Amino acid sequence: MLGGAATAFVLASTLAACGGGGEDSATPVLNWYINPDSGGQATIAERCSEESDGAYRIAVSILPRESSAQREQLVRRLAANDASIDIVSLDPPYIPEFAQAGFLAPVPADLADRVTEGVVQSSIEGSTWNEELVTVPFWANTQLLWYRKSVAEAAGLDMTQPVTWEQIVQAAQDTGTIVSAQGRRAESLTVWFNALIESAGGSVIEENSTDPDQIQLGLTSPAGERAAEVMALVADSGVVGAAFSTSSEDTSATQFESEDGGFMVNWPFVWSRALSAVEAGTLDASVPDDYGWTIYPRVDAETPSAPPYGGINLGVGAFSDNVDLAYQATECITTDENQAEYMITNGNPASSVAVYDDPEVQEAFPMAATIRDSLELAAPRPQTPYYSEVSGGLQREYHPPSSASPETAQRAAELISAVLSGEQLL
């Protein structure tokens, strides 16, 4: 899972949360399928079970680590009308597919109003399909531009002002440091490309439709060509470090922690990771002390960037025998108090704006305000029931990133169109 996986580097143990508060054998059990994290969702499940005062008990089951594997398992079971799936933690790009297939129970209108109040816009958009809220916003993730303060100062970059990709590449070349991004053939490449094309004012899908033959791609638009140009610029800059075409989020974090670290785009987990390394004695405290952060780089100087959006939203299974209770439980799971604790203990940022004003959150994440601002600017990946086909086509044609060009855009557009129309397989 992109974003979620990046922040969830410690696997939680599988457990069935033990409810309290008057629970007996007749208490309905809600099965919540979660993505791997550091145990935070299991803790929330236990707390909400107790607070339900016997109305329900939540039992958690952990899905595979990779989001594509999570999707595959859930699709297979829901296609078989599996009534045991009550609540699912869903990676946002797959939500339209689940909604379009009828796998999600409709969100009650009054609940939709409550769970979107005070929530960052990107998380609402990521919970929506066909202009209807189909999942409950839970936690939201975004990438920041991380920089070594000493490097930016040496390069003469004013990081209080927006910077472009060209500026950070030039700064890294001037200082002999590394620009870290995710160049491997994986979902992270789609994340990067989508942020570039959205930042250039375009979209991977310009005209959306539930009919795959009617989907109009924007890859060959001026914004698409500009995105390819910037991707190749970074990859060919000579400052991306070795094996850029296999670089992941973790690879990037390791590079940034090294003495060659200069600039990096990545999820906020890198902060907790660095502090944990200092505590373990494997990283000098001066390293995270030198970390700076700001909004994602711009493609063009005069156009605000559209940072990546990730995270997890909560769906309720359409075939569940406990739809009403499951939606009650999602309201408990997503309270500001639970989101704040989850952010502090598991490093996964909240979708609720109010959480970023929590002093404990601000103490744990000094960059909390920047994360919140980035989430307000962030753009979801293509919202389509055919996301797997679109993302797979992008990864196939835009890898390695150094090969990205206008010709790449044309090939990718032709490939994805052929796949969507059933004329070709990925």
- Rounded to a whole number of angstroms, the distance between the first and last alpha carbons of the chain is 20
Q: What is the pTM of this model?
A: 0.91
Instruction: Give the span between the Cα atoms of 418 and 426, in whole angstroms.
Output: 10
Cis peptide upstream of residue 400 (ω within 30 degrees of 0): yes
Our CA angle for 252, 256, 261, nearest 5°, is 130
Q: How far apart are CA 291 and CA 262, in angstroms?
A: 10
- In whole angstroms, what is the distance from residue 402 CA to residue 420 CA? 26
Q: pLDDT tens digits, the chain, 426 residues: what are they?
A: 344 434 443 333 333 333 334 456 789 999 999 999 999 999 999 999 999 999 999 999 999 988 889 999 999 999 999 999 999 999 999 999 999 999 999 999 999 999 999 999 999 999 999 999 999 999 999 999 999 999 999 999 999 999 999 999 999 999 999 999 999 999 999 999 999 999 999 999 999 999 999 999 999 999 999 999 999 999 999 999 889 999 999 999 999 999 999 999 999 999 999 999 999 999 999 999 999 999 999 999 999 999 999 999 999 999 999 999 999 999 999 999 999 999 999 999 999 999 999 999 999 999 999 999 999 999 999 999 999 999 999 999 999 999 999 999 999 999 999 999 999 988
Residue 91 is predicted with a pLDDT of 95
Exposed, middle or buried: residue 201 (CB in 10 Å: 0-12, 13-18, 19+)?
Answer: middle
Separation CA 322–CA 328 (nearest Å):
10
Of 88, 3, 94, 86, the residue nearest 314 (C-alpha): 88
Closest by CA to 151, choosing from 255, 77, 30, is: 255
Taking phi first (over 0 means left), then psi (-120 to 50 degrees means alpha), and beta for anything else, what does residue 164 get?
Answer: beta
* pLDDT value of position 41: 98
